[in-house]
């Protein structure tokens, strides 16, 4: 390794000092250069001189996805156009896309952050990184590529879909790392098995991004592609893109790059900060982003901070995997349910695969019903269906406090997709 992309901090005090510097810089930069932030801060009666300790963070107003929509097409912009070298966009759930501006420094910082992901995943410059995520306005493909080049490994930029070309490159170029959404990696795993290519490929690692997925999906991908390790890369366009953290080989949580952004977890209903270990919404504040800085940006992603340090010894703190989005929450008989909770419960059942669907119905009795469709793994027999269904229903009742009707289907009965799989179907009208 010629160069390390890890931060030079070793204690929590050093990290906090660095974060305070970054926070003060961000508030001043935003106040001076972004009309949106200046107005927002003035309304909250805050000037840059008011930020003197990390405790002042919670005095700052939140920024939301609605603010990005209202500022379309260049929301939060805090640098003049002659310094903006690129934009990326993500689809909003309704209406206009979220467009974010990058200066050259932002692009360089993002490349360094992403290179750190490859370093954390223990790649070397000899690795060959085949990229199967989307290119274009989206941050995904170009982020994986930028980081790979910065790190110094070989990029094989195939893009999404196209299993034919992916198989060809895996065999001919002997790619060692495969970067994809979980759905695409699963599809490729099944394709490699179907074509009997297991002995001809050289993959050792899979890096998954851009889609929330379960532990059982990780295990299945690991098994099908016969790799040593599967890593989880978080990220959102507002915060540069993917590459803002990675779980290390210990898999005790996702190390996040706390020298680039502050991560708070808040209660999405009361907006109060939560204690480490408590599940809530991720709120991020960037520390050196110029083009479109974020001040307490509500991501809608749900996770928790992991209270204890990682056994790998790296001082970068960790958050848990993303449990879902606060928007994805659905309510069945007055119980709030996040898809991630269902993922987690189903991942503990060895007899079923990683694919599932949740159907919500309102029946003639006026009550809501949740029907879970799961797939029995090939090595188990259909006569076990009832026992499997009973066990899942019991687990769901115990952990999520709601009853579910469970249908156990044959292996491969549910649809597969290269894109993000839709799992929750609400028929309640």
Residues interacting with Zn ion, by CB under 5 A?
248, 250, 310, 312, 314
CA distance 223 to 203: 12
- Based on CB atoms, which residue is closest to Zn ion, 310 or 374? 310
Integer Cα distance of 387 and 420 in angstroms = 30
CB of 248 to Zn ion, least distance (A): 3
In angstroms, what is the minimal distance from the CB of 231 to Zn ion? 11
User: Is the CB of 134 or the CB of 317 nearer to Zn ion?
Assistant: 317
Q: Which is nearer to Zn ion, 151 or 231 (CB)?
A: 231
Tell me the Cα Rg of the chain: 22
Q: How far is CA 126 from CA 52, 227, 386, in A?
A: 46, 17, 50
Please give the Cα distance from 211 to 262 (Å, whole number). 22
CB of 312 or CB of 329, closer to Zn ion: 312
**Residue 274 beta carbon to Zn ion: minimum distance, rounded to whole angstroms:** 23
- The smaller minimum CB distance to Zn ion, of residues 180 and 310, is found at 310
CB of 251 to Zn ion, least distance (A): 8
Tokens encoding 59: 């005095």
Closest C-alpha to 107, from 70, 68, 79 = 79
Minimum CB separation of residue 182 from Zn ion in Å reads 21
Q: Tell the smallest beta-carbon distance from residue 255 to Zn ion (Å).
A: 6
Nearer to Zn ion, 71 or 253 (CB): 253
DSSP letter for each residue of 34-79: -HHHHHHHHHTT--GGG--SGGGGGGSPPB-HHHHHHTTTSTT--S
Tokens of 353: 């695969």
Closest CA to 168 of 150, 195, 146: 195
Rounded CA separation 348/370 (Å): 19
**Which residue, 266 or 310, is less far from Zn ion as judged by CB?**
310
Question: What is the phi/psi pair of residue 38, to 5°?
Answer: -60, -45
Instruction: Please calculate the CA angle 416-420-423 and round it to the nearest 5 degrees.
Output: 70
Min dist CB 415 to Zn ion, Å, is 36
């Amino acid at each position: 390794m010629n160069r390390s992309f890890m931060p030079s901090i070793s204690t929590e005090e050093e990290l906090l000092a660095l974060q305070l510097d970054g926070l003060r810089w961000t508030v001043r930069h935003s106040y001076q250069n972004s009309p949106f932030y200046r107005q927002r801060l003035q309304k909250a009666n805050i000037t840059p001189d008011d930020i003197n300790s990390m405790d002042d963070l919670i005095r700052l107003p939140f920024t939301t996805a609605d603010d990005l929509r209202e500022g379309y097409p260049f929301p939060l912009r805090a640098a003049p156009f002659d310094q903006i070298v690129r934009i990326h966009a993500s689809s909003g759930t309704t209406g206009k896309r979220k467009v974010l501006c990058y200066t050259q420094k932002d692009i360089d910082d993002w490349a360094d952050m992403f290179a750190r992901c490859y370093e954390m995943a223990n790649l070397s410059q000899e690795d060959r990184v085949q990229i199967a995520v989307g290119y274009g306005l989206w941050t995904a493909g170009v982020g994986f590529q930028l980081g790979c080049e910065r790190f110094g490994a070989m990029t094989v930029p195939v893009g999404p879909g196209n299993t034919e070309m992916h198989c060809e490159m895996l065999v001919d170029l002997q790619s060692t790392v495969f970067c994809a959404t979980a759905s695409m990696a699963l599809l490729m795993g099944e394709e490699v098995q179907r074509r009997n290519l297991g002995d001809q490929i050289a993959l050792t690692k899979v890096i998954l991004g851009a889609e929330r997925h379960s532990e059982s999906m990780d295990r299945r991908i690991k098994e099908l592609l016969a790799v040593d390790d599967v890593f989880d890369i978080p990220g959102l366009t507002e915060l540069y893109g993917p590459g803002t953290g990675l779980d290390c080989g210990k898999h005790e949580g996702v190390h996040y790059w706390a020298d680039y952004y502050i991560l708070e977890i808040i209660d999405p209903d009361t907006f109060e900060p939560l204690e480490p270990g408590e599940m809530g919404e991720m709120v991020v504040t960037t520390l050196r982003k110029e083009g479109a800085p974020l001040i307490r940006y509500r991501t809608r992603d749900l996770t928790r901070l992991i209270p204890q340090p990682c056994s790998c010894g790296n001082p970068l703190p960790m958050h848990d995997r993303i449990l879902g989005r606060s928007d994805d929450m659905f309510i069945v008989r007055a119980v709030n349910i996040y898809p991630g909770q269902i993922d987690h419960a189903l991942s503990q059942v060895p007899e079923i695969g990683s694919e599932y669907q949740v159907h919500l119905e309102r029946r003639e009795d006026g009550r809501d019903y949740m029907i879970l469709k799961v797939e029995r793994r090939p090595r188990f027999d259909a006569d076990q269906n009832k026992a499997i269904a009973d066990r899942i229903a019991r687990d769901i009742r115990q952990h999520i406090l709601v009853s579910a009707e469970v249908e156990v289907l044959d292996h491969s009965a549910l649809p597969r997709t290269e894109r993000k799989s839709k799992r929750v179907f609400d028929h309640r009208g």
